[in-house]
Chains A and B, each alone.
Chain A
Amino acid sequence: MQPNLSAMIDVIFLLLIYFVTTANFTPDEGALTVKLPQGTGKTTQDLTLPQRPLNIVLSPAGEVECRIRIEGYPQAPAGFAELATLLVQLQYDPERGRSSGAFKPDSPVVIRPKAGVRWQHVANAFNAAVRARYTNINFAQVSK
Chain B
Amino acid sequence: MPSQIFHRGPTTPQMNITPLIDVVFLLIIFFMLVNNIISEQSVQMIVPQLDEPTTRELLDDSGRIIVNIAPAEYAHSERQGNPLLFDGEARFIRVGLQTFAADDLDGVTAALVEAKEAFPDAEVVLRSDGALYYGVVQPVMGAITRAGIDTINLVAFMPERGAATIQIGE
> Contact at B137–A130, with CB atoms within 8 Å?
no
B25 at the interface (CB under 8 A from A): yes
The stretch among B4-12, B96-104, B147-155 that forms the contact with chain A is B147-155
A37 to B142, CA, bound (A): 9
> Contact at A27–B152, with CB atoms within 8 Å?
no
A31 at the interface (CB under 8 A from B): yes
Q: Which residues of A contact B149 (CB under 8 A)?
A: 36
Contact with B along A24-46 (1 / 0, CB 8 A): 00011111111111100101100
> Contact at B22–A139, with CB atoms within 8 Å?
no
> Contact at B54–A131, with CB atoms within 8 Å?
yes
Interface residues on B, range: 35 or more
> Contact at A34–B84, with CB atoms within 8 Å?
no
Q: Which residues of B contact A11 (CB under 8 A)?
A: 18, 21-22, 25
> Contact at A117–B153, with CB atoms within 8 Å?
no
> Contact at B55–A30, with CB atoms within 8 Å?
yes
Given the interface pairs A44-B142, A117-B134, A119-B137, the reply to whether A30 lies near B52 with Cβ below 8 Å is no
> What are some 12 contacts across the A-B interface (CB < 8 A)?
A11-B18, A21-B29, A31-B58, A36-B149, A115-B134, A119-B132, A119-B134, A119-B137, A122-B137, A123-B50, A130-B168, A139-B141
